[in-house]
Protein backbone atom coordinates (compact mmCIF):
# COMPACT_ATOMS: atom_id res chain seq x y z
CA UNK A 1 0.00 0.00 0.00
CA UNK A 2 1.24 3.47 -0.82
CA UNK A 3 2.06 5.74 2.17
CA UNK A 4 -0.72 8.08 1.09
CA UNK A 5 -3.37 5.39 1.32
CA UNK A 6 -1.96 4.09 4.57
CA UNK A 7 -2.10 7.56 6.11
CA UNK A 8 -5.70 8.05 5.01
CA UNK A 9 -6.69 4.61 6.28
CA UNK A 10 -5.12 5.22 9.68
CA UNK A 11 -6.78 8.61 9.91
CA UNK A 12 -10.21 7.27 8.95
CA UNK A 13 -9.95 4.36 11.38
CA UNK A 14 -9.00 6.70 14.22
CA UNK A 15 -11.89 9.04 13.48
CA UNK A 16 -14.37 6.16 13.32
CA UNK A 17 -13.00 4.23 16.29
CA UNK A 18 -12.43 7.08 18.75
CA UNK A 19 -16.12 7.51 19.77
CA UNK A 20 -16.17 3.96 21.17
CA UNK A 21 -13.81 5.16 23.87
CA UNK A 22 -15.67 8.38 24.71
CA UNK A 23 -16.78 8.39 28.36
CA UNK A 24 -19.45 11.02 27.60
CA UNK A 25 -21.09 13.00 24.82
CA UNK A 26 -18.92 16.00 25.73
CA UNK A 27 -16.03 14.32 23.95
CA UNK A 28 -17.69 14.60 20.55
CA UNK A 29 -17.29 18.34 20.82
CA UNK A 30 -13.63 18.04 21.72
CA UNK A 31 -13.17 15.68 18.79
CA UNK A 32 -14.87 18.11 16.44
CA UNK A 33 -12.69 20.94 17.73
CA UNK A 34 -9.59 18.81 17.15
CA UNK A 35 -10.65 18.14 13.55
CA UNK A 36 -11.43 21.80 12.93
CA UNK A 37 -7.98 22.81 14.18
CA UNK A 38 -6.40 19.98 12.21
CA UNK A 39 -7.90 21.37 8.99
CA UNK A 40 -6.11 24.69 9.46
CA UNK A 41 -2.93 22.93 10.50
CA UNK A 42 -3.02 20.72 7.37
CA UNK A 43 -3.02 23.94 5.35
CA UNK A 44 0.08 25.05 7.24
CA UNK A 45 1.76 21.74 6.41
CA UNK A 46 1.46 22.73 2.76
CA UNK A 47 2.78 26.24 3.38
CA UNK A 48 5.43 25.60 6.05
CA UNK A 49 6.17 21.91 5.67
CA UNK A 50 6.17 21.58 1.90
CA UNK A 51 7.12 25.07 0.72
CA UNK A 52 9.13 26.20 3.76
CA UNK A 53 7.35 29.56 4.05
CA UNK A 54 6.34 30.74 7.51
CA UNK A 55 3.06 32.43 8.36
CA UNK A 56 2.22 33.91 11.74
CA UNK A 57 -1.04 35.39 10.51
CA UNK A 58 -3.11 32.51 9.25
CA UNK A 59 -5.72 32.98 11.96
CA UNK A 60 -6.67 36.07 9.96
CA UNK A 61 -8.02 33.81 7.22
CA UNK A 62 -9.84 31.72 9.82
CA UNK A 63 -11.40 35.01 10.94
CA UNK A 64 -12.57 35.79 7.42
CA UNK A 65 -14.09 32.33 7.09
CA UNK A 66 -15.78 32.62 10.48
CA UNK A 67 -17.24 36.09 10.00
CA UNK A 68 -18.39 35.23 6.48
CA UNK A 69 -20.64 32.61 8.09
CA UNK A 70 -21.89 35.12 10.66
CA UNK A 71 -22.49 38.03 8.31
CA UNK A 72 -23.31 36.69 4.84
CA UNK A 73 -26.56 34.92 5.84
CA UNK A 74 -27.82 38.05 7.58
CA UNK A 75 -26.72 40.74 5.14
CA UNK A 76 -26.65 38.90 1.82
CA UNK A 77 -29.29 36.30 2.52
CA UNK A 78 -26.92 33.49 1.67
CA UNK A 79 -27.37 30.00 3.13
CA UNK A 80 -24.51 29.04 5.50
CA UNK A 81 -22.97 26.59 3.01
CA UNK A 82 -22.70 29.38 0.42
CA UNK A 83 -21.26 31.60 3.16
CA UNK A 84 -18.44 29.06 3.69
CA UNK A 85 -17.66 29.25 -0.04
CA UNK A 86 -17.82 33.05 0.02
CA UNK A 87 -15.38 33.04 2.95
CA UNK A 88 -12.92 30.80 1.12
CA UNK A 89 -13.19 32.94 -2.00
CA UNK A 90 -12.49 36.09 0.03
CA UNK A 91 -9.61 34.45 1.88
CA UNK A 92 -8.12 33.15 -1.35
CA UNK A 93 -8.43 36.56 -3.01
CA UNK A 94 -6.85 38.34 -0.04
CA UNK A 95 -4.06 35.74 0.22
CA UNK A 96 -3.35 36.18 -3.47
CA UNK A 97 -3.29 40.01 -3.27
CA UNK A 98 -1.20 40.18 -0.11
CA UNK A 99 0.94 37.15 -0.92
CA UNK A 100 2.21 38.63 -4.17
CA UNK A 101 4.31 41.33 -2.52
CA UNK A 102 5.12 39.72 0.85
CA UNK A 103 6.20 36.28 -0.37
CA UNK A 104 9.29 37.94 -1.82
CA UNK A 105 10.42 38.22 1.79
CA UNK A 106 12.36 35.48 3.50
CA UNK A 107 12.56 34.07 7.02
CA UNK A 108 11.87 36.54 9.82
CA UNK A 109 10.74 39.22 7.40
CA UNK A 110 8.01 37.01 6.01
CA UNK A 111 7.07 36.04 9.59
CA UNK A 112 6.68 39.67 10.58
CA UNK A 113 4.76 40.59 7.43
CA UNK A 114 2.24 37.76 7.89
CA UNK A 115 2.02 38.65 11.58
CA UNK A 116 1.04 42.18 10.53
CA UNK A 117 -1.58 40.83 8.14
CA UNK A 118 -3.17 38.70 10.87
CA UNK A 119 -3.22 41.58 13.35
CA UNK A 120 -4.73 43.87 10.73
CA UNK A 121 -7.61 41.47 10.10
CA UNK A 122 -8.32 40.95 13.80
CA UNK A 123 -8.23 44.73 14.36
CA UNK A 124 -10.79 45.27 11.62
CA UNK A 125 -13.02 42.57 13.14
CA UNK A 126 -12.72 44.18 16.58
CA UNK A 127 -13.19 47.76 15.51
CA UNK A 128 -15.92 47.58 12.88
CA UNK A 129 -18.39 46.92 15.67
CA UNK A 130 -21.47 48.02 13.72
CA UNK A 131 -20.88 45.05 11.41
CA UNK A 132 -19.05 42.53 13.52
CA UNK A 133 -20.37 43.17 17.00
CA UNK A 134 -16.90 44.19 18.12
CA UNK A 135 -14.87 42.37 20.77
CA UNK A 136 -17.98 40.75 22.26
CA UNK A 137 -18.50 38.75 19.13
CA UNK A 138 -21.55 37.97 17.07
CA UNK A 139 -24.08 35.16 16.82
CA UNK A 140 -23.80 32.75 13.89
CA UNK A 141 -26.88 31.23 12.24
CA UNK A 142 -27.49 27.49 12.32
CA UNK A 143 -26.04 25.40 9.51
CA UNK A 144 -29.45 23.75 9.21
CA UNK A 145 -28.03 20.31 8.59
CA UNK A 146 -29.45 18.86 11.80
CA UNK A 147 -32.95 20.05 10.93
CA UNK A 148 -32.58 18.61 7.48
CA UNK A 149 -31.52 15.26 8.85
CA UNK A 150 -34.38 15.30 11.35
CA UNK A 151 -36.83 15.87 8.52
CA UNK A 152 -35.32 12.84 6.82
CA UNK A 153 -35.97 10.88 9.98
CA UNK A 154 -32.43 10.78 11.38
CA UNK A 155 -32.11 12.27 14.86
CA UNK A 156 -28.54 13.05 15.68
CA UNK A 157 -27.02 15.12 18.48
CA UNK A 158 -25.20 18.35 17.68
CA UNK A 159 -21.93 16.96 19.07
CA UNK A 160 -22.15 13.79 17.00
CA UNK A 161 -23.09 15.71 13.89
CA UNK A 162 -20.15 18.10 14.18
CA UNK A 163 -17.81 15.26 14.98
CA UNK A 164 -18.81 13.50 11.76
CA UNK A 165 -18.89 16.63 9.64
CA UNK A 166 -15.55 18.08 10.80
CA UNK A 167 -13.95 14.64 10.69
CA UNK A 168 -15.06 14.18 7.07
CA UNK A 169 -13.79 17.59 6.04
CA UNK A 170 -10.49 16.93 7.81
CA UNK A 171 -10.00 13.60 6.02
CA UNK A 172 -10.87 15.30 2.74
CA UNK A 173 -8.31 18.02 3.49
CA UNK A 174 -5.67 15.44 4.36
CA UNK A 175 -6.42 13.57 1.13
CA UNK A 176 -5.89 16.76 -0.92
CA UNK A 177 -2.65 17.59 0.90
CA UNK A 178 -1.33 14.05 0.43
CA UNK A 179 -2.21 14.15 -3.27
CA UNK A 180 -0.31 17.39 -3.56
CA UNK A 181 2.78 16.01 -1.83
CA UNK A 182 3.57 13.52 -4.59
CA UNK A 183 2.57 15.71 -7.52
CA UNK A 184 4.45 18.07 -9.81
CA UNK A 185 3.33 21.08 -7.73
CA UNK A 186 4.22 19.33 -4.46
CA UNK A 187 7.69 18.47 -5.70
CA UNK A 188 8.17 22.05 -6.91
CA UNK A 189 7.19 23.35 -3.45
CA UNK A 190 9.48 20.94 -1.63
CA UNK A 191 12.26 21.77 -4.09
CA UNK A 192 12.07 25.50 -3.45
CA UNK A 193 12.06 24.69 0.26
CA UNK A 194 15.31 22.74 -0.17
CA UNK A 195 17.11 25.23 -2.39
CA UNK A 196 15.41 28.20 -3.94
CA UNK A 197 18.33 28.86 -6.27
CA UNK A 198 18.38 25.30 -7.61
CA UNK A 199 14.59 25.28 -7.95
CA UNK A 200 14.75 28.41 -10.09
CA UNK A 201 17.39 26.95 -12.38
CA UNK A 202 15.25 23.82 -12.75
CA UNK A 203 12.55 25.94 -14.37
CA UNK A 204 10.34 26.46 -11.32
CA UNK A 205 8.61 29.81 -11.11
CA UNK A 206 9.32 30.19 -7.40
CA UNK A 207 7.15 33.26 -6.82
CA UNK A 208 4.13 31.65 -8.44
CA UNK A 209 4.46 28.41 -6.52
CA UNK A 210 4.86 30.15 -3.17
CA UNK A 211 1.73 32.13 -3.95
CA UNK A 212 -0.18 28.94 -4.76
CA UNK A 213 0.85 27.40 -1.44
CA UNK A 214 -0.13 30.56 0.42
CA UNK A 215 -3.56 30.71 -1.22
CA UNK A 216 -4.27 27.00 -0.68
CA UNK A 217 -3.28 27.19 2.98
CA UNK A 218 -5.45 30.31 3.42
CA UNK A 219 -8.41 28.35 2.07
CA UNK A 220 -7.80 25.59 4.63
CA UNK A 221 -7.68 28.18 7.44
CA UNK A 222 -10.83 29.84 6.15
CA UNK A 223 -12.79 26.57 6.07
CA UNK A 224 -11.55 25.79 9.56
CA UNK A 225 -12.78 29.20 10.79
CA UNK A 226 -16.15 28.76 9.09
CA UNK A 227 -16.72 25.37 10.71
CA UNK A 228 -15.68 26.72 14.10
CA UNK A 229 -18.16 29.58 13.81
CA UNK A 230 -21.00 27.34 12.66
CA UNK A 231 -20.35 24.80 15.40
CA UNK A 232 -20.08 27.30 18.25
CA UNK A 233 -22.89 29.54 16.93
CA UNK A 234 -20.93 32.49 18.29
CA UNK A 235 -17.70 34.01 17.11
CA UNK A 236 -15.36 36.65 18.56
CA UNK A 237 -12.38 38.43 16.97
CA UNK A 238 -10.11 36.07 18.95
CA UNK A 239 -10.52 33.56 16.11
CA UNK A 240 -8.38 35.89 13.97
CA UNK A 241 -6.02 36.85 16.80
CA UNK A 242 -2.30 36.42 17.09
CA UNK A 243 -2.62 33.69 19.74
CA UNK A 244 -4.70 31.58 17.39
CA UNK A 245 -2.06 31.94 14.66
CA UNK A 246 0.69 30.91 17.05
CA UNK A 247 -1.44 28.01 18.25
CA UNK A 248 -1.79 26.74 14.66
CA UNK A 249 1.94 26.95 13.99
CA UNK A 250 2.76 25.27 17.32
CA UNK A 251 0.40 22.39 16.56
CA UNK A 252 2.03 21.90 13.17
CA UNK A 253 5.57 22.13 14.52
CA UNK A 254 4.86 19.91 17.53
CA UNK A 255 3.44 17.09 15.46
CA UNK A 256 5.86 17.45 12.56
CA UNK A 257 5.23 20.14 10.01
CA UNK A 258 6.56 18.01 7.16
CA UNK A 259 3.87 15.36 7.50
CA UNK A 260 0.10 15.62 7.35
CA UNK A 261 -0.47 12.89 9.93
CA UNK A 262 2.11 14.42 12.25
CA UNK A 263 0.49 17.83 12.10
CA UNK A 264 -2.93 16.34 12.84
CA UNK A 265 -1.36 14.53 15.78
CA UNK A 266 0.01 17.87 17.03
CA UNK A 267 -3.42 19.45 16.65
CA UNK A 268 -4.92 16.60 18.65
CA UNK A 269 -2.55 16.98 21.58
CA UNK A 270 -2.69 20.74 21.84
CA UNK A 271 -6.47 20.88 21.42
CA UNK A 272 -7.30 18.03 23.78
CA UNK A 273 -4.96 18.86 26.65
CA UNK A 274 -6.40 22.26 27.63
CA UNK A 275 -9.92 20.82 27.31
CA UNK A 276 -9.26 17.75 29.41
CA UNK A 277 -6.98 19.21 32.06
CA UNK A 278 -8.54 22.38 33.34
CA UNK A 279 -5.32 23.10 35.25
CA UNK A 280 -3.53 23.22 31.92
CA UNK A 281 -6.11 25.61 30.52
CA UNK A 282 -4.99 28.47 32.79
CA UNK A 283 -1.41 28.17 31.65
CA UNK A 284 -2.19 27.35 28.03
CA UNK A 285 -0.17 30.16 26.49
CA UNK A 286 2.81 29.48 28.70
CA UNK A 287 2.74 25.78 27.87
CA UNK A 288 2.41 26.63 24.17
CA UNK A 289 5.63 28.63 24.35
CA UNK A 290 7.40 25.93 26.32
CA UNK A 291 6.29 23.22 23.89
CA UNK A 292 7.61 25.28 20.98
CA UNK A 293 11.01 25.75 22.61
CA UNK A 294 11.37 22.10 23.64
CA UNK A 295 10.32 20.76 20.25
CA UNK A 296 12.75 23.08 18.46
CA UNK A 297 15.62 21.88 20.67
CA UNK A 298 14.91 18.17 21.00
CA UNK A 299 12.63 17.18 18.13
CA UNK A 300 13.15 19.61 15.27
CA UNK A 301 11.30 17.27 12.89
CA UNK A 302 8.28 17.16 15.22
CA UNK A 303 6.87 14.42 17.46
CA UNK A 304 5.52 11.94 14.94
CA UNK A 305 8.39 11.93 12.41
CA UNK A 306 10.94 11.73 15.25
CA UNK A 307 9.10 8.80 16.81
CA UNK A 308 8.82 7.03 13.46
CA UNK A 309 12.51 7.54 12.86
CA UNK A 310 13.38 6.06 16.23
CA UNK A 311 11.07 3.11 15.58
CA UNK A 312 12.51 2.40 12.16
CA UNK A 313 16.10 3.08 13.14
CA UNK A 314 18.18 6.01 11.95
CA UNK A 315 16.74 7.96 9.04
CA UNK A 316 14.23 5.25 8.19
CA UNK A 317 16.08 4.15 5.10
CA UNK B 1 28.47 26.68 -37.60
CA UNK B 2 27.13 29.55 -35.54
CA UNK B 3 27.55 29.64 -31.78
CA UNK B 4 24.88 28.30 -29.44
CA UNK B 5 25.87 30.50 -26.54
CA UNK B 6 27.59 33.84 -27.04
CA UNK B 7 29.11 35.83 -24.20
CA UNK B 8 29.73 39.37 -25.33
CA UNK B 9 31.71 41.82 -23.18
CA UNK B 10 30.14 40.52 -19.95
CA UNK B 11 31.07 42.27 -16.71
CA UNK B 12 29.81 42.86 -13.20
CA UNK B 13 30.86 45.03 -10.28
CA UNK B 14 29.91 44.57 -6.64
CA UNK B 15 29.99 47.89 -4.82
CA UNK B 16 32.70 49.37 -7.01
CA UNK B 17 34.80 46.21 -7.10
CA UNK B 18 34.89 44.71 -10.57
CA UNK B 19 34.55 40.94 -10.27
CA UNK B 20 34.29 40.16 -13.97
CA UNK B 21 35.32 42.57 -16.68
CA UNK B 22 34.62 42.50 -20.42
CA UNK B 23 34.68 38.73 -20.98
CA UNK B 24 33.70 37.41 -24.41
CA UNK B 25 33.66 33.93 -25.89
CA UNK B 26 31.29 31.48 -27.56
CA UNK B 27 30.19 27.86 -27.19
CA UNK B 28 28.96 25.73 -30.09
CA UNK B 29 26.49 22.86 -29.94
CA UNK B 30 28.07 19.64 -28.69
CA UNK B 31 31.31 21.43 -27.81
CA UNK B 32 33.02 21.33 -24.41
CA UNK B 33 34.41 24.70 -23.40
CA UNK B 34 36.19 25.09 -20.08
CA UNK B 35 36.67 28.24 -18.06
CA UNK B 36 39.78 28.01 -15.92
CA UNK B 37 41.64 30.40 -13.68
CA UNK B 38 42.96 30.72 -10.14
CA UNK B 39 40.59 30.95 -7.15
CA UNK B 40 38.72 34.22 -7.16
CA UNK B 41 39.22 34.76 -10.88
CA UNK B 42 35.46 35.21 -11.32
CA UNK B 43 34.53 31.86 -12.85
CA UNK B 44 31.49 31.16 -10.66
CA UNK B 45 30.44 34.80 -10.90
CA UNK B 46 30.52 34.43 -14.68
CA UNK B 47 28.34 31.31 -14.39
CA UNK B 48 25.89 33.10 -12.13
CA UNK B 49 25.54 35.88 -14.69
CA UNK B 50 24.99 33.50 -17.58
CA UNK B 51 22.41 31.49 -15.63
CA UNK B 52 20.47 34.59 -14.59
CA UNK B 53 21.29 34.59 -10.88
CA UNK B 54 23.33 37.83 -11.12
CA UNK B 55 22.46 40.82 -13.27
CA UNK B 56 25.54 41.85 -15.30
CA UNK B 57 26.46 45.53 -15.23
CA UNK B 58 27.76 45.36 -18.79
CA UNK B 59 27.67 43.12 -21.81
CA UNK B 60 25.23 40.64 -23.30
CA UNK B 61 24.49 36.92 -23.29
CA UNK B 62 22.83 35.32 -26.33
CA UNK B 63 21.40 31.83 -26.67
CA UNK B 64 20.68 30.65 -30.21
CA UNK B 65 20.95 34.26 -31.32
CA UNK B 66 18.31 35.59 -28.89
CA UNK B 67 19.39 37.89 -26.10
CA UNK B 68 18.96 36.30 -22.66
CA UNK B 69 20.92 38.76 -20.52
CA UNK B 70 19.68 38.80 -16.89
CA UNK B 71 16.64 36.70 -17.77
CA UNK B 72 14.91 34.91 -14.87
CA UNK B 73 16.54 31.50 -14.31
CA UNK B 74 13.25 29.60 -14.71
CA UNK B 75 12.77 31.20 -18.13
CA UNK B 76 16.32 30.30 -19.11
CA UNK B 77 15.55 26.71 -18.14
CA UNK B 78 12.65 26.83 -20.57
CA UNK B 79 15.06 27.89 -23.32
CA UNK B 80 17.32 24.95 -22.63
CA UNK B 81 19.99 26.29 -20.28
CA UNK B 82 20.73 24.12 -17.28
CA UNK B 83 23.43 24.12 -14.62
CA UNK B 84 24.98 22.48 -11.58
CA UNK B 85 26.49 24.19 -8.56
CA UNK B 86 29.95 24.28 -7.09
CA UNK B 87 28.66 24.17 -3.50
CA UNK B 88 25.93 21.53 -3.93
CA UNK B 89 22.36 22.76 -4.16
CA UNK B 90 20.42 19.52 -3.84
CA UNK B 91 16.95 19.13 -2.31
CA UNK B 92 18.14 17.33 0.82
CA UNK B 93 14.83 16.08 2.21
CA UNK B 94 13.71 14.68 -1.14
CA UNK B 95 14.76 11.30 -2.52
CA UNK B 96 17.30 11.11 -5.32
CA UNK B 97 14.50 10.13 -7.66
CA UNK B 98 12.41 13.15 -6.65
CA UNK B 99 15.44 15.43 -7.06
CA UNK B 100 15.72 14.37 -10.69
CA UNK B 101 11.94 14.52 -11.16
CA UNK B 102 12.09 18.21 -10.24
CA UNK B 103 14.17 18.61 -13.39
CA UNK B 104 11.12 17.46 -15.35
CA UNK B 105 9.05 20.25 -13.87
CA UNK B 106 8.61 22.14 -17.13
CA UNK B 107 7.27 19.08 -18.89
CA UNK B 108 5.12 17.68 -16.11
CA UNK B 109 3.12 20.72 -15.00
CA UNK B 110 -0.57 19.87 -14.62
CA UNK B 111 -1.95 22.71 -12.48
CA UNK B 112 -2.49 23.05 -8.74
CA UNK B 113 -6.13 21.95 -8.72
CA UNK B 114 -5.39 18.83 -10.71
CA UNK B 115 -2.48 18.08 -8.36
CA UNK B 116 -4.61 18.60 -5.23
CA UNK B 117 -7.37 16.36 -6.52
CA UNK B 118 -4.90 13.77 -7.77
CA UNK B 119 -6.52 13.76 -11.20
CA UNK B 120 -5.31 11.16 -13.73
CA UNK B 121 -3.43 13.87 -15.65
CA UNK B 122 -1.26 14.60 -12.61
CA UNK B 123 -0.73 10.97 -11.65
CA UNK B 124 0.13 10.02 -15.20
CA UNK B 125 2.74 12.79 -15.39
CA UNK B 126 4.27 11.72 -12.08
CA UNK B 127 4.55 8.13 -13.30
CA UNK B 128 6.17 9.11 -16.59
CA UNK B 129 8.51 11.49 -14.81
CA UNK B 130 9.58 8.81 -12.31
CA UNK B 131 10.34 6.41 -15.12
CA UNK B 132 12.63 8.71 -17.05
CA UNK B 133 14.20 10.01 -13.82
CA UNK B 134 15.13 6.44 -12.92
CA UNK B 135 16.80 6.07 -16.33
CA UNK B 136 18.80 9.24 -15.70
CA UNK B 137 19.88 8.02 -12.28
CA UNK B 138 21.05 4.80 -13.90
CA UNK B 139 23.07 6.87 -16.33
CA UNK B 140 25.04 8.45 -13.47
CA UNK B 141 25.18 5.16 -11.55
CA UNK B 142 22.79 6.08 -8.72
CA UNK B 143 19.74 3.97 -9.53
CA UNK B 144 20.28 1.72 -6.50
CA UNK B 145 19.93 4.69 -4.15
CA UNK B 146 16.91 6.16 -5.96
CA UNK B 147 14.63 6.08 -2.89
CA UNK B 148 17.12 7.40 -0.37
CA UNK B 149 16.95 10.97 0.89
CA UNK B 150 19.57 13.13 -0.81
CA UNK B 151 20.97 14.35 2.49
CA UNK B 152 22.11 10.82 3.38
CA UNK B 153 24.36 10.55 0.31
CA UNK B 154 28.07 11.20 -0.11
CA UNK B 155 29.48 14.33 -1.68
CA UNK B 156 30.61 12.55 -4.83
CA UNK B 157 27.20 10.95 -5.31
CA UNK B 158 25.46 14.31 -4.94
CA UNK B 159 27.76 15.81 -7.56
CA UNK B 160 26.52 13.16 -9.99
CA UNK B 161 22.94 13.65 -8.80
CA UNK B 162 23.19 17.33 -9.76
CA UNK B 163 24.29 16.34 -13.24
CA UNK B 164 21.37 13.91 -13.60
CA UNK B 165 18.96 16.58 -12.37
CA UNK B 166 20.38 19.15 -14.80
CA UNK B 167 20.03 16.64 -17.65
CA UNK B 168 16.38 16.03 -16.77
CA UNK B 169 15.68 19.45 -18.26
CA UNK B 170 16.87 18.08 -21.60
CA UNK B 171 19.12 21.12 -21.99
CA UNK B 172 20.81 22.45 -25.10
CA UNK B 173 23.63 23.80 -22.99
CA UNK B 174 24.81 22.58 -19.62
CA UNK B 175 26.89 24.68 -17.23
CA UNK B 176 28.94 22.49 -14.90
CA UNK B 177 30.55 24.28 -11.96
CA UNK B 178 33.42 22.12 -10.70
CA UNK B 179 31.70 18.75 -11.18
CA UNK B 180 34.80 16.84 -10.03
CA UNK B 181 35.67 18.98 -6.98
CA UNK B 182 36.10 16.82 -3.91
CA UNK B 183 35.85 13.60 -5.90
CA UNK B 184 38.49 10.86 -5.82
CA UNK B 185 40.34 9.63 -8.89
CA UNK B 186 37.79 6.93 -9.74
CA UNK B 187 34.85 9.29 -9.37
CA UNK B 188 36.63 11.94 -11.43
CA UNK B 189 37.15 9.45 -14.22
CA UNK B 190 33.48 8.56 -14.14
CA UNK B 191 32.48 12.22 -14.38
CA UNK B 192 34.97 12.70 -17.19
CA UNK B 193 33.33 9.84 -19.11
CA UNK B 194 29.87 11.21 -18.35
CA UNK B 195 30.69 14.70 -19.61
CA UNK B 196 32.14 13.37 -22.85
CA UNK B 197 29.04 11.23 -23.32
CA UNK B 198 26.69 14.18 -22.78
CA UNK B 199 28.60 16.28 -25.31
CA UNK B 200 28.48 13.45 -27.84
CA UNK B 201 24.70 13.53 -27.54
CA UNK B 202 24.87 17.10 -28.86
CA UNK B 203 24.62 19.10 -25.63
CA UNK B 204 27.02 22.01 -25.40
CA UNK B 205 28.98 22.07 -22.15
CA UNK B 206 30.50 25.01 -20.37
CA UNK B 207 32.75 23.74 -17.62
CA UNK B 208 34.51 25.28 -14.65
CA UNK B 209 37.00 22.85 -13.21
CA UNK B 210 40.20 22.86 -11.20
CA UNK B 211 41.31 19.38 -12.16
CA UNK B 212 43.72 20.35 -14.95
CA UNK B 213 44.15 16.82 -16.20
CA UNK B 214 40.42 16.49 -16.71
CA UNK B 215 40.15 19.91 -18.36
CA UNK B 216 43.03 19.35 -20.76
CA UNK B 217 41.69 15.97 -21.75
CA UNK B 218 38.07 16.72 -22.54
CA UNK B 219 37.88 20.39 -23.55
CA UNK B 220 37.82 21.52 -27.15
CA UNK B 221 38.45 25.08 -26.10
CA UNK B 222 39.73 26.86 -22.99
CA UNK B 223 38.98 30.33 -21.65
CA UNK B 224 41.38 31.55 -18.96
CA UNK B 225 40.26 34.14 -16.43
CA UNK B 226 42.45 36.02 -13.98
CA UNK B 227 41.19 38.83 -11.73
CA UNK B 228 37.94 38.85 -13.68
CA UNK B 229 39.54 39.38 -17.09
CA UNK B 230 40.05 36.97 -19.95
CA UNK B 231 43.80 36.56 -20.33
CA UNK B 232 43.91 33.74 -22.85
CA UNK B 233 41.68 31.57 -25.02
CA UNK B 234 42.27 28.70 -27.39
CA UNK B 235 42.98 24.99 -27.71
CA UNK B 236 44.23 23.35 -24.46
CA UNK B 237 47.74 22.73 -25.72
CA UNK B 238 48.07 26.34 -26.89
CA UNK B 239 46.79 27.80 -23.67
CA UNK B 240 49.06 25.63 -21.55
CA UNK B 241 52.10 27.24 -23.19
CA UNK B 242 50.84 30.80 -22.81
CA UNK B 243 53.28 32.66 -20.53
CA UNK B 244 50.49 34.86 -19.14
CA UNK B 245 48.54 31.77 -18.11
CA UNK B 246 51.56 30.22 -16.46
CA UNK B 247 52.21 33.48 -14.62
CA UNK B 248 48.61 33.63 -13.39
CA UNK B 249 48.76 30.09 -12.07
CA UNK B 250 52.26 29.98 -10.65
CA UNK B 251 53.00 33.64 -9.97
CA UNK B 252 55.84 35.64 -11.51
CA UNK B 253 58.44 33.63 -9.67
CA UNK B 254 57.01 30.35 -10.87
CA UNK B 255 57.00 31.60 -14.42
CA UNK B 256 60.71 32.30 -14.21
CA UNK B 257 61.26 28.81 -12.90
CA UNK B 258 59.25 27.31 -15.76
CA UNK B 259 61.12 29.40 -18.32
CA UNK B 260 64.35 28.48 -16.66
CA UNK B 261 63.49 24.82 -16.75
CA UNK B 262 62.50 25.07 -20.40
CA UNK B 263 65.63 27.02 -21.31
- This complex has an ipTM of 0.89
Whether the CA torsion A7, A9, A12, A16 is positive or negative: it is negative
Query: How close does chain A come to B88, measured CA to CA in Å?
Result: 9
Domain boundaries, chain A: 3-246
Parallel, antiparallel or unpaired: strands A234-235 and B221-226:
unpaired
**Does B159 touch chain A if contact means CB atoms closer than 8 Å?**
no
Task: Confirm if B57 and B11 have CB atoms less than 8 A apart.
Answer: yes
d(CA B5, CA B81): 10
* Alpha-helical segments (H) within A152-232: 158-181, 184-194, 196-201, 206-232
Please report the DSSP string for B154-191 in residue order: -HHHHHHHHHHHHHHT--SEEEEESTTTT--HHHHHHH
pLDDT in tens, chain B (263 residues): 578 999 999 999 998 889 999 999 999 998 999 999 888 889 999 999 999 999 999 999 999 999 999 899 999 999 999 999 988 999 999 999 999 999 999 888 778 999 999 999 999 999 999 999 999 999 999 999 999 999 999 988 999 999 999 999 999 999 999 998 888 888 888 888 999 999 999 999 999 988 788 888 899 999 999 999 999 999 998 888 888 888 887 665 555 555 555 44
Which of B141, B193, B187, B190 lies closest to B164 in space, CA to CA? B141
Interface test with A, best of B50, B102, B158, B167 (most A CBs within 10 A): B102
Most distant CA pair in chain A, distance: 60
Burial class (CB in 10 A: 0-12, 13-18, 19+), A151: exposed
pLDDT value for B110: 79
In this structure, the dihedral spanned by the alpha carbons of residues A174, A178, A179 and A185, taken in order and rounded to 10 degrees, is 120
Interface test with B, best of A189, A197, A198, A316 (most B CBs within 10 A): A198
Domain boundaries, chain B: 5-262
Residue A291 has pLDDT above 50, yes or no: yes
* Alpha-helical segments (H) within A3-106: 3-17, 26-44, 59-75, 80-102
Which secondary structure element, helix H or strand E, spans residue B46, and what is its range? helix B43-50
Which of A101, A102, A90, A125 lies closest to A56 in space, CA to CA? A102
Residues 64-123 of B with CB under 8 A from A: 72-74, 76-78, 82-83, 85, 89-94, 98-99, 101-106, 108-112, 114-118, 122-123
By residue count, chain B amounts to 263
> Which pLDDT band, with edges at 50, 70 and 90, does A315 fall under?
very low
Strand partners, B177: B208
Q: Which of A184, A200, A317 sits opposite B122 (nearest CB)?
A: A184
pLDDT tens digits, one per residue of A258-270: 889 999 999 998 8
The CATH architecture that domain B5-262 belongs to is: 3-Layer(aba) Sandwich (3.40)
d(CA B63, CA B70): 12
Residues 250-309 of A with CB under 8 A from B: 258
Burial class (CB in 10 A: 0-12, 13-18, 19+), A310: exposed
Chain B residues in contact with A179 by the CB 8 A cut-off are 115-118, 122
Residues 6+ apart with CB under 8 A from B64: B4, B79, B172
Chain B residues in contact with A208 by the CB 8 A cut-off are none
Q: Which of B72, B92, B98 sits opposite A187 (nearest CB)?
A: B98
Average pLDDT of span A9-30: 92
d(CA B80, CA B71): 13
Average pLDDT of span A107-132: 92
Interface test with B, best of A185, A201, A313 (most B CBs within 10 A): A201
CA angle at B236 for the pair B232 and B242, rounded to the nearest 5°: 45
CB contact under 8 A, B165 and A202: yes
Task: Confirm if B7 and B55 have CB atoms less than 8 A apart.
Answer: no
Residue A60 has pLDDT above 70, yes or no: yes
Amino acid sequence: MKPKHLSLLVLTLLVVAAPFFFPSGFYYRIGALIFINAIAVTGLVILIGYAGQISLGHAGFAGIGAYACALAPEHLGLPPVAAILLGTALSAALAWLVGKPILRLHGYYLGVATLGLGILISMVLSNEAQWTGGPDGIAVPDLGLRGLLRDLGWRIGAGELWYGLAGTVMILGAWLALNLFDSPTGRALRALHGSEVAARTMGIDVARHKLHAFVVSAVYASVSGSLLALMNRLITPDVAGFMHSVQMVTMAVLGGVGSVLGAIFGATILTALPQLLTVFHQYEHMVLGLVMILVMIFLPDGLLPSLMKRLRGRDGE
Amino acid sequence: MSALLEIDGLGIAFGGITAVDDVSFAVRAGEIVSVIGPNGAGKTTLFNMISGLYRPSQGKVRLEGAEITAMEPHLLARRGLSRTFQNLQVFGEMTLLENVMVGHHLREKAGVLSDLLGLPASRQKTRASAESALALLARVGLEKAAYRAARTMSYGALKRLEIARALALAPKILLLDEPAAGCNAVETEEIDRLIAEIARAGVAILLVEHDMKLVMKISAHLVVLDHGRKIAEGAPAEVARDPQVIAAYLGQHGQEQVLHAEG
